Structure 1
Amino acid sequence: MRIWLSFVATAIAFSSCARPSAPSEPALAADVLGRIEAPAGVVIAHRAETYAVTGTDRATIRAQLHVPDGTLLERNYAGLYKWQLTWRYETGREGTLCRVTRAAVTLTSIVTLPEWTAAATADPVIVTEWARFRRALAVHEHGHRELAYAGAGRARKAIESIPQQACSSIDADVRIAAEPILNAMKLEQARYDQSTSHGATQGATF
C-alpha cells in the first residue's frame, strides 16, 4: 500500500463587478453566507479575504471596486473566487495489479470581497445601497463555492472508481479519471458567471 500526493489543478472563477453587504455585518464577509457541507472524503480549506474601499460618494466607491494585486483580468472585478484541488490516494496491490482503496481530495477555496470603511460618515441612502450590493455579491460568491464543493466530491468518487489494473499505469489513470471532472468544474464556473452576468442578475451592482 502506498500514498501518492499530487498537485492537480488550479482554477479561477471570476465574480461580478458588484458589492457585498453592509460594514455593519462583518461576519457575512468572514464566512460568506455560512458554511457549505463538505462532500464525503473532501477536506475544505476555505478563507475569506477583503480589501478596503474608502470614500463616501458613489463615484469614489465605484472607482475602488476591483480586486487588488491580481492579474489584469482579476482586477476588472469587485469580488473574486478562486479554487485549487489536490488529491491523494491509497492503493492495494495484488501481484502486478493495483486498485485504489481510498481517495481524499482537498479543496482550497478563497473568496475576496470589498470592505467599505467609511459608512459612518456617508449618506444613509448610499449605506443602504451598499448593504444590498454587498449581500448580493456574497450570494454570488456563495454560488461559486457550492459548485466547487460539489465538483470536489465528484473528483473523489471518480478516483475511487478506477478499476483494478497494472500498478505501472494507475498514477496516469488517476489523472485521466480526474481531468474531465476538473474541466467540467471550470466550465460550470464560467457558465454560472455567464448565466448571472457575473452576479448582476442577482443584484450585485452598485
Structure 2
Amino acid sequence: MASMSDFAFYSTSALPLPRVLALLLAVLLAACGGGERSASSPQALDASAETTSASGRASGQAAGASARPAPGDTASAAASTSELHVNRTETFYTVTGRTEQALLRDLVQHGPRSDGARHFGRTSWTARWEIVYEQASRPAREAPCRIRRADVYLDVEVTMPRWNAPSNAPAALRRDWSSFLDALAFHEREHQESIISAGRRVARALEDLTAASCSALEEKADTQARSIIEEARRYNRRFDERTRHGRTQGARWPQ
C-alpha cells in the first residue's frame, strides 16, 4: 500500500538582493499520502510520497537558492549550461513480531506520519536552484539578460520499514515480508524517478531562459519552475490513484 496522496509542493523564491538575482525553489514534499484515512484503521495504512506545493514564498523550512551576475556583468558568447545534483538518503523505522497482525500493529504505530495519518513508507524531497546570469553592457534588442549557468539540487529521503525478525519467525511470513518490501520499494522508487525527472526539466528550462531584463528573467524562471512542479504533482497524484497508492503493485500488508 503505497502512497496515499496529493503531492504537495512548496516553492519559495528568495528576496532579490542588490545585484543578485535570487531565485529560490524550495520543495518540501510533504506526503504523497493524501486522503482522509485514519491511522487507527490498519487497512488504511499506505506508503506515502511527499512533495511540496508551488504556492508563493514559503517560510521556515525552505531551502535556499540564489542567482548572481556573472563576473564582469557583460554578455558572453559562451553557451549556457545546467546540472542536476541529487542527494538520496534512506531512513528506516523498526517493526517486530512473528505474526502478520503483530507486524501490522507496528507498521500502524511506527510508520511515517503525513497529513495526520501513518503510512508504510514515504518519499520526501527538497529542491533548490542556483543560477548565474549575465547581462550585456550594451543590451541587445531582444534578450539582454540570460542565464549562464543553472544548478538544481535535489535532496530525496525515503523512509521504509525494517523488520527485526525473531529467529523463530515462520518461513512463510519471511517470504511474505520480502514480497511486501520489494513492492513498497518499487512504488517509492517510481515516485523518486518522477521527482528526478522534474528536476531535470527544471534544469533544462532554466538553462534556456532569456528575458528583456534580469528582473523579468527572475519572474520568468519562477513561472517555468512552478509549472514543472505542478505537472509533477499532478502526475504523482494520478500515479497513486491508478495504483491505489501502491496496493495494485503488491505494497499491501498482510499479503
Deviation for aligned residue 1:182: 0.8
Q: Higher strand proportion, which one?
A: 1
- Among 74, 79, 88, the residue aligned to 1:46: 88
The higher radius of gyration belongs to 2
Number of residue equivalences: 184
One-letter code aligned to 1:51: Y
2:210 and 2:135 map into 1 onto residues whose CA distance is: 12
Deviations, residues 144-169 of structure 1 (Å, cap 9, x unaligned) = 11111111000111112222321232
Distance 1:194 1:203 in 2: 15
SS in 2 for 1:125: helix
**Which residue does the alignment assign to 1:194?**
241
| TM norm structure 1 | 0.80
Between the aligned partners of 2:190 and 2:180, the Cα distance in structure 1 is: 16
Amino acid at match of 2:136: E
Contact 2:21 2:218 in 1 (8 A): no
C-alpha deviation, 1:191, in angstroms: 1.3
Partner of 1:81: 123
2:112–2:118 CA contact under 8 A, matched in 1: no
**2:207 is the counterpart of 1:163:** no
Distance 1:64 1:121 in 2: 18
Whole-angstrom distance in 1 between the partners of 2:177 and 2:107:
12
Q: Which residue in the other structure is 1:17 paired with?
A: 46
Partner Cα distance (2:240, 2:207) in 1: 30
Does the Cα contact within 8 Å between 2:145 and 2:214 map onto a contact in 1? yes
Conserved? CA contact 2:205–2:224, under 8 Å: yes
Query: Any idea what SS the aligned residue of 1:60 has?
Result: helix
Q: How does 1:1-206 map to 2 (within 5 A)?
A: 4=22, 6-14=24-32, 17=46, 41-66=83-108, 68=111, 70-73=113-116, 75-95=117-137, 97-206=144-253
Instruction: Describe the superposition over 1:117-145 as per-residue Cα deviations: whole angstroms up to 9, x where unpaired.
Output: 02422111111100110111011111111
Larger relative contact order (Cα-Cα within 8 Å, sequence gap ≥ 6): 1
**Secondary structure in 2 aligned to 1:158?**
helix
* Separation (CA, whole Å) in 2 of partners of 1:5 and 1:121: 56
Looking at structure 2, the residues matched to 163 and 7 of structure 1 have their Cα atoms a distance apart, in angstroms, of 18
Identity of aligned residues (%): 26
* SS across alignment from 1:177: helix
Residue 199 of structure 1: how far off its partner (Å): 1.0
Unmatched runs of 5 consecutive residues or more in structure 1: 19-39
Change (3 A) 1:13 1:147: farther
Q: Post-superposition shift, 1:76?
A: 2.7
* Cα contact 2:97–2:103 (8 A) shared by 1: yes
Of 42-51 and 120-129, more deviation after overlay is shown by 120-129
What letter corresponds to residue 218 of structure 2 in structure 1?
A: D
Please list the CA deviations of residues 165-189 of structure 1 after superposition, one character each: whole Å capped at 9, or x if unmatched.
2123222221111110011111111
CA contact (8 A) 1:3 1:88 kept: no
Q: Which residue in the other structure is 1:29 paired with?
A: none
Q: Structure 1 residues 201 and 69, CA, compared in 2 at 3 Å: closer, same or farther?
A: closer
Tell me by how many angstroms 1:6 deviates. Answer: 2.2
C-alpha distance in 2 between matches for 1:176 and 1:148:
18
Distance 1:174 1:12 in 2: 23
